[in-house]
């Protein structure tokens, strides 16, 4: 995996992790928001049900009072009004349940219960209306207890359906819980007072006919109200809002100071069969006031809960919005990070890596990524630029070297060709094995490179004598070879043009005197064989002493030395004369022969040469030279030589005396 | 390739090579020329360490002698074996004054 991929994956991974974390938080916030919404919906439904219950209680009391004949005709309008309220509130509750949709649990059952209660209320009302017609004046009073009983049952059912909804969506907030409890207890309180509103009204209408059962019921209701107040007071430990607290305190104060003592005195009057101080209508009005106070308290509680829930709902909504914005920002940050990493790191890295690979492949034409950045990428880019410049420079140098090399090779080839041509020419200058007037000669010629500083020649003079020479120019190679050509020419001419009677040493002296000082000197054997006598003569000019191989196999060394030619202008030379009988051979060699070094650095030496010549004395000259060549190659251990090597062998043949010698 | 030593105003030049051949001769000639050009007239050339001198080496020796000219003298000491034979073969034993060793040469020159 490449670095750029790792970077991108890491960035994307971090981004996704961040987004997931934020998304989880949003899910939690949404859940809280849903809960708050459900709580709010539940609260609204319960509020409507509570108000509806209150209204139904009021309807019960009004209808009851009319049934027992205490209601006024004008009360018919109020009754319609309170019925309309009950209907409105129950309808509103149903609408709220439907509006909450799936937000509330068991909505279908709640709706079914409500509509059933509503239907039963309608039925009960129709029955009550039937008894309230003027014709049925007497029978209506008989129906009153049943009305009260049925209406109370329906009030109870409404309350229990409200409690069911509360149980299903129980708020977790302690204040909300307490307020819900307070509302429930206040509802009990309200119901107790409302029952007594009806029951006491009837009792006060005909105090004498009040039974103990009725008094018990009234007393029970009064007790329930007291109990409800105790429960309400018990809830006040929780920190409720100031307005709720005040409202509860005021209502309780009002109840304890006005309604409770009044109800007590009425009960006492009824028990004591004393005519009560109040009539049923006055009681009804006073109860209505007490109920009104409690309803005010209920409204305060409802308002407080509603506000709390609304606050919670808007908090949850804000929270969801905040986290959503964070999610968007996070997503944008991730996107920007990926884009920045891609643009500032990944792309430049790709460019660099591509360019590096191309450069490594020796593609010097490849363009480098443009960059004027001061960071590491910029530094790498600069370094790459230097690498490329160096590579181009190196390639240029390499190319130049190759061109130079090719030129050198060409020049060398040309030189080689020239040298080879020169070598061919030099060899053609040397006389091939042959015989001249009773003298047979053979040569061995091995240059250390193509051309040699050695040379030799055999020429016949017009007077019949045979002249010969062997030359070794100091040094070797082309310069020595050129000088050797000059020597070859000079000596050949000197032999041919020598005036008869001029001694050989004169030739040597003359050439030595005239030899240019700038040229290298040379050593030589210059000699002459007179076919008419058995004598031969030589000039030894710094050259190794030649050998004479007698026909009987004896080997002699001729001469002890002499000045080389071209070294000292004043040098003098001696002529050596010796017998060369038929079958005798003269063996002339250059120092390259005896100084040839073996692999251990030892020279071949004159001693070895003499031994070899002695052993091969019986062989013909060509065979002897061939053998010498083989021995030398073996001695060297290679085909090369450090110095030029040449041998010239001349043999006096056993021939008849030429015809012109007879004279 | 040369080491020098001044004894009784005579410059003793010792050749520290086994061979004076075509490859060494130019350097030998240069160094000797420097010695001669520095104003030394009396020079003893110690060849006791040298085993072999070829024609180029001999040419270099003679050119040194020529450079020194008639005003000075170049004595050769310690030439043995092949070197000695070369001097004989080329008659250089008649051109250079040969001595068996440096001491004899110095003694001869300072006398």
For residue B41, what is the domain's CATH number? 3.30.750.24
B58 CB within 8 Å of a chain A CB? yes
Q: What is the mean pLDDT of residues A206-212?
A: 82
**pLDDT over 50 at B95, yes or no:** yes
Residues A14 and A69 in one domain: yes
pLDDT at position A606: 92
A638 vs A422: CA distance, rounded Å? 24
Residues A125 and A241 in one domain: yes
Tokens standing for residue A242: 């100031």
* Positive or negative torsion for Cα A256, A262, A265, A271: negative
**pLDDT over 70 at A106, yes or no:** yes
B82 CB within 8 Å of a chain A CB? yes
8 Å CB contact of A561 and B56 = no
- Which pLDDT tens digit goes with each residue over A573-623? 999 999 999 999 999 999 999 999 998 889 999 999 999 999 999 999 999
**Residue A334 located in a structural domain:** no
Q: Which of A385, A411, A429 is the last residue of a domain?
A: A429
Domain that holds residue A414: 370-429
**CA-nearest residue of chain A to B20?**
A475
pLDDT at position A8: 83
**Residue A147 located in a structural domain:** yes
8 Å CB contact of A542 and B95 = no
pLDDT at position B61: 93
Give the CA dihedral A449, A450, A453, A459, nearest 10 degrees.
140
Number of structural domains (chain A) is 3
- Which pLDDT tens digit goes with each residue over A424-480? 999 999 999 998 888 999 999 999 988 999 999 999 988 888 999 999 999 878 899
Tokens standing for residue A610: 């003499």
Q: What is the mean pLDDT of residues A1-16?
A: 85
pLDDT at position A656: 55
**CA-nearest residue of chain B to A597?**
B52
8 Å CB contact of B54 and A562 = no
8 Å CB contact of A563 and B90 = yes
**pLDDT over 60 at A658, yes or no:** no
- For A475, the closest of B22, B82, B88 (CB atoms) is B22
SS3 letters for A47-78?
HHHHHHHHHHHHHHHHHHHHHCCCCCCCHHHH
Q: What is the mean pLDDT of residues A529-543?
A: 90
8 Å CB contact of A544 and B62 = no
8 Å CB contact of B59 and A542 = no
- What are the CA-CA distances from residue B91 to residues A118, B15, B29, B59, B95 (Å)? 161, 22, 21, 13, 7
Q: Using a CB-CB distance cutoff of 8 angstroms, which residues of chain B are in contact with residue A520?
A: 59
Residues A103 and A166 in one domain: yes
pLDDT category, A662, cuts 50, 70, 90? Answer: very low
Mean pLDDT computed over every residue of chain A: 89
Number of structural domains (chain B) is 1
Residues A451 and A534 in one domain: yes
Residues A498 and A574 in one domain: yes
- For A474, the closest of B56, B88, B91 (CB atoms) is B56
- For A643, the closest of B54, B89, B91 (CB atoms) is B54
DSSP states of A242-300 = HHHHHHHHHHHHHIIIIIHHHHHHHHHHHHTTPPPSS-HHHHHHHHHHHHHHHHHHHHH
Domain that holds residue B84: 2-110
DSSP states of A111-163 = HHHHHHHHHHHHHHHHHHHHHHSGGGHHHHHHHHHHHHHHHHHHHHHHHHHHH
CA distance A639 to chain B (A): 20
Q: Is A361 helix (H, G, I), strand (E, B) or coil?
A: coil
Residue owning tokens 């609204």 = A44
Q: Using a CB-CB distance cutoff of 8 angstroms, which residues of chain B are in contact with residue A475?
A: 22, 55-56, 59
Residues A423 and A437 in one domain: no
Residues A219 and A185 in one domain: yes
Q: Using a CB-CB distance cutoff of 8 angstroms, which residues of chain A are in contact with residue B19?
A: none
Question: Looking at residue A369, what DSSP letter applies?
Answer: P
Angle (CA) B36-B39-B41 rounded to 5° is: 70
pLDDT category, A225, cuts 50, 70, 90? Answer: very high
8 Å CB contact of A561 and B90 = yes
Number of other residues whose CB lies within 10 A of the CB of residue B12: 22
**pLDDT over 70 at A296, yes or no:** yes
**Residue A135 located in a structural domain:** yes
Residues A376 and A308 in one domain: no
pLDDT at position B12: 94
**CA-nearest residue of chain A to B81?**
A605
pLDDT at position A541: 95
**pLDDT over 90 at A174, yes or no:** no
B89 CB within 8 Å of a chain A CB? yes
A45 vs A165: CA distance, rounded Å? 9
């Amino acid at each position: 995996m490449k670095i750029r991929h790792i970077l991108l994956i890491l960035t994307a991974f971090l981004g996704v992790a961040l987004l997931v974390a934020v998304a989880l938080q949003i899910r939690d916030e949404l859940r809280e928001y849903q809960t708050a919404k459900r709580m709010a919906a539940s609260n609204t439904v319960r509020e409507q049900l509570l108000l509806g219950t209150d209204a139904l209680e009021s309807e019960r009391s009004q209808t009851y009072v009319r049934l027992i004949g205490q209601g006024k005709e004008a009360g018919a309008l109020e009754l319609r009004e309170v019925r309309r309220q009950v209907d409105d509130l129950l309808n509103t509750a149903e609408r709220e349940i439907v509006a909450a949709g799936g937000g509330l649990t068991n909505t279908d059952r709640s709706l079914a219960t409500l509509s059933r209660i509503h239907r039963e209320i309608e039925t009960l009302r129709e029955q009550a209306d039937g008894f309230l017609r003027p014709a049925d004046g007497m029978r209506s009073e008989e129906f009153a207890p049943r009305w009260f009983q049925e209406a109370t049952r329906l009030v109870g059912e409404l309350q229990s359906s409200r409690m069911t909804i509360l149980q299903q969506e129980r708020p977790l907030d302690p204040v909300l819980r307490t307020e819900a409890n307070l509302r429930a207890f206040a509802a009990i309180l309200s119901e107790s007072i409302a029952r007594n509103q009806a029951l006491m009204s009837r009792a006060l209408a005909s105090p004498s006919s009040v039974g103990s059962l009725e008094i018990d019921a009234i007393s029970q209701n009064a007790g329930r109200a007291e109990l409800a107040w105790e429960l309400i007071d018990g809830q006040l430990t929780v920190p409720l809002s100031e307005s709720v607290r005040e409202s509860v305190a005021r209502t309780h104060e009002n109840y304890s100071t006005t309604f409770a003592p009044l109800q007590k005195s009425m009960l006492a009057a009824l028990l004591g069969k004393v005519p009560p101080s109040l009539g049923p209508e006055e009681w009804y009005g006073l109860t209505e006031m007490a109920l009104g106070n409690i309803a005010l308290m209920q409204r305060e509680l409802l308002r407080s809960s509603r506000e709390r829930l609304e606050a919670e709902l808007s908090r949850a909504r804000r929270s969801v919005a905040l986290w959503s914005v964070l999610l968007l920002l996070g997503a944008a940050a991730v996107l920007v990070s990926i884009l920045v990493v891609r643009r500032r790191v990944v792309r430049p890295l790709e460019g660099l890596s591509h360019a590096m690979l191309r450069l490594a492949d020796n593609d010097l034409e490849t363009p480098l990524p443009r960059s004027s950045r001061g960071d590491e990428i910029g530094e790498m880019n600069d370094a790459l630029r230097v690498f490329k410049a160096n590579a181009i420079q190196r390639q240029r140098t390499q190319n130049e070297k190759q061109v130079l090399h090719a030129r050198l090779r060409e020049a060398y080839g040309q030189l080689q060709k020239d040298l080879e041509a020169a070598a061919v020419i030099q060899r053609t200058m040397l006389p091939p094995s042959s015989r001249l007037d009773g003298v047979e000669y053979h040569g061995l010629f091995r240059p250390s490179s193509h051309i040699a500083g050695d040379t030799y020649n055999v020429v016949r003079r017009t007077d019949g004598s045979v002249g010969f020479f062997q030359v070794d120019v100091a040094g070797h190679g082309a310069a020595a070879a050129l000088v050797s050509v000059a020597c070859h020419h000079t000596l050949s001419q000197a032999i041919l043009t020598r005036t008869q009677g001029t001694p050989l040493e004169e030739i040597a002296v003359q050439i030595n005197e005239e030899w240019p000082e700038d040229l290298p000197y040379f050593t030589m054997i210059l000699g002459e064989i007179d076919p008419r006598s058995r004598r031969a003569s030589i000039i030894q000019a710094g050259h190794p002493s030649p050998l004479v191989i007698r026909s009987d196999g004896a080997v002699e060394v001729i001469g002890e030395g002499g000045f080389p030619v071209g070294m000292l202008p004043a040098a003098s030379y001696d002529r050596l004369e010796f017998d060369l009988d038929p079958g005798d051979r003269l063996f002339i060699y250059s120092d390259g022969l005896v100084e040839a070094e073996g692999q251990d650095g030892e020279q071949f030496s004159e001693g070895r040469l003499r031994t070899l010549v002695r052993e091969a004395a019986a062989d013909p000259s060509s065979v002897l030279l061939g053998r010498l060549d083989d021995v030398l190659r073996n001695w060297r251990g290679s085909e090369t030589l450090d110095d030029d090597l040449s041998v010239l062998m001349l043999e006096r043949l056993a021939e008849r005396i030429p015809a012109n010698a007879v004279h | 390739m040369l080491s020098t030593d001044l004894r009784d105003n005579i410059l003793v030049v010792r050749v520290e090579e086994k061979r004076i051949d075509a490859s060494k001769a130019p350097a030998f000639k240069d160094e000797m020329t420097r010695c001669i050009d520095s104003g030394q007239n009396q020079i003893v050339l110690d060849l006791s360490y040298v085993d072999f001198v070829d024609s180029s080496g001999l040419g270099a020796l003679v050119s040194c002698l020529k450079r020194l000219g008639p005003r000075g003298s170049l004595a050769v000491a310690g030439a043995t074996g092949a070197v000695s034979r070369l001097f004989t073969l080329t008659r250089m034993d008649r051109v250079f004054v040969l001595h068996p060793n440096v001491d004899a040469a110095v003694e001869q020159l300072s006398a």
